[in-house]
Structure 1
Amino acid sequence: MVLYINGEPREVERELNLNELLNYLGIAFREVGLAISVNGEVIPKSKYTDVRLKEGDSVEIIHLVGGG
């Protein structure tokens, strides 16, 4: 199955939810400063296990960085 992660095609072996995708990518589920959208819709962390990704979905993963 192909997903588009931050605009790049990425092959995954099976259907995943957002939490499983983060684990697959090596990103901590509870990481502070993390925002994710699927097909343009921002997903709250409380819904990461509920959102099932489908073939061709576009996932944007944004790491917020503080600074001054």
Structure 2
Amino acid sequence: MYELSNKEHNFPSTLLTKARENLHSMIEEVILGQMIDVDMMAQESAPYELIEKKNYYKTASYTFIRPMLT
């Protein structure tokens, strides 16, 4: 994505803006998943919902969902 911003291309600027926003959201979600993961390591146990949220942010979000939105 970042490589496209400095190269000649025929993509509409609106498409690049949407892709950039999607990339930034994906990065935020992965960071949030990592923060949840690190926080869970300091706890004796974690609720199932938190484990699901961590897995969603660290795997499904950036490997399948976000790429499909772009």
TM-score above 0.5, yes or no: no
Q: Which has the higher helix share?
A: 2
Please tell me the TM-score bracket, short chain as reference.
under 0.3
Q: Indicate the structure (1 or 2) with the bigger Cα radius of gyration.
A: 2
TM-score (norm. length: structure 1): 0.23
- Structure with more of its chain in strand, by fraction: 1
TM-score (norm 2): 0.22
